[in-house]
């Protein structure tokens, strides 16, 4: 059990470092004005229109780096710094979220699969930590409880892994569009690419942490079976 906490702390530290780096990149690129003069909202609306998407609304949302695409009500939700910002960072983030809208419109298979898993993951995420803790404490008398926890945790791990191609593909679509349309020029494009790279790293760290933690729980269960 102790090794699980050690690994968790290590990945919490790595996640914090990556998050700090991402925030630093966003802050820096937010100060670089976009030569095209488009705000994040205008970038999003332009990308949606040029991809033939007319049923997705672009909204302002509260918070910092809370930007997301909601497939349920077909909205691109941009934080204030992105929605109103006329910067490389705003353009990169807005285009990335529209990349998800394009995925939805084209039925991108990994996005569709992730969407189908959402209800199950929401349910399992509420129970998984309590079931795992109970499973560890009662492993000698009720080992099946830990197995149930492993199955629930595996769902969240699968979800994290499936999220990777979804996020990388959205960035790929965003960057291709930004470059093709000259929304970002030759100097601004590498900055947009760098910003999205660090955003993707947060998902990579989360997926690796989930895989390693799942493996540890499986080893604990297997070790108890042998003892």
| pLDDT in 10s for each residue of the chain, 227 residues | 556 667 778 878 888 898 888 889 999 999 999 999 999 999 999 999 999 999 999 999 999 889 999 999 999 999 999 999 999 999 999 999 999 999 999 999 999 999 999 999 999 999 999 999 999 999 888 989 999 999 999 999 999 999 999 999 999 999 999 999 999 999 999 999 999 999 999 999 999 989 988 998 998 898 887 76
Q: How far is CA 144 from CA 7, 116, 134, 149, 150, in A?
A: 24, 27, 11, 9, 10
The Cα–Cα gap between 78 and 76 comes to 6
pLDDT of residue 64: 87
Domain ranges of the chain: 2-226
Which neighbouring-strand residues pair with 58? 76
Going by C-beta distance under 8 Å and a sequence separation of 6 or more, which residues neighbour residue 184?
34, 35, 36, 88, 91, 92, 178, 191, 192
DSSP for residue 141 = T
pLDDT of residue 3: 65
pLDDT of residue 65: 86
**In the structure encoding, which two tokens stand for residue 50, read together?**
């040029």
pLDDT of residue 227: 61
Catalytic residues: 97
Which neighbouring-strand residues pair with 76? 58, 69
Q: Are the C-beta atoms of 103 and 169 separated by less than 8 Å?
A: yes
pLDDT of residue 8: 72
Q: Are the C-beta atoms of 47 and 98 separated by less than 8 Å?
A: yes
The Cα–Cα gap between 71 and 117 comes to 13
State how far Cα 76 lies from the chain centre.
15
pLDDT of residue 19: 85
pTM of the model: 0.89
């Amino acid at each position: 059990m102790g090794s699980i906490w050690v690994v968790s702390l290590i990945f919490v530290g790595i996640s914090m470092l990556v998050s700090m780096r991402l925030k630093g990149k966003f802050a820096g690129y937010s100060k670089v004005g976009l030569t095209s003069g488009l705000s994040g909202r205008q970038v999003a609306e332009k990308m949606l229109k040029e991809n033939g998407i007319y049923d997705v609304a672009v909204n302002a949302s509260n918070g910092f780096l809370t930007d997301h695409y909601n497939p349920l009500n077909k909205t691109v939700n941009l934080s204030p710094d992105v929605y109103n910002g006329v910067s490389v960072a705003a353009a990169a983030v807005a285009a990335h979220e529209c990349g998800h809208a394009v995925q939805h419109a084209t039925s991108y298979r990994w996005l569709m699969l992730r969407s189908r898993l959402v209800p199950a993951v929401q349910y399992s995420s509420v129970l998984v930590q309590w079931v795992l803790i109970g499973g560890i404490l009662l492993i000698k008398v009720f080992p099946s409880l830990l197995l149930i926890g492993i199955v629930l945790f595996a769902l969240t791990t699968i979800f994290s892994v499936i999220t990777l191609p979804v996020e990388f593909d959205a960035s790929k679509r965003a960057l291709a569009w930004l470059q093709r349309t000259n929304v970002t020029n030759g100097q601004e494009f590498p900055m947009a690419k760098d910003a999205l790279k660090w955003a993707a790293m947060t998902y990579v760290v989360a997926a690796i942490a989930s895989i390693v933690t799942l493996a540890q729980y499986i080893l604990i269960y297997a070790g108890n079976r042998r003892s």
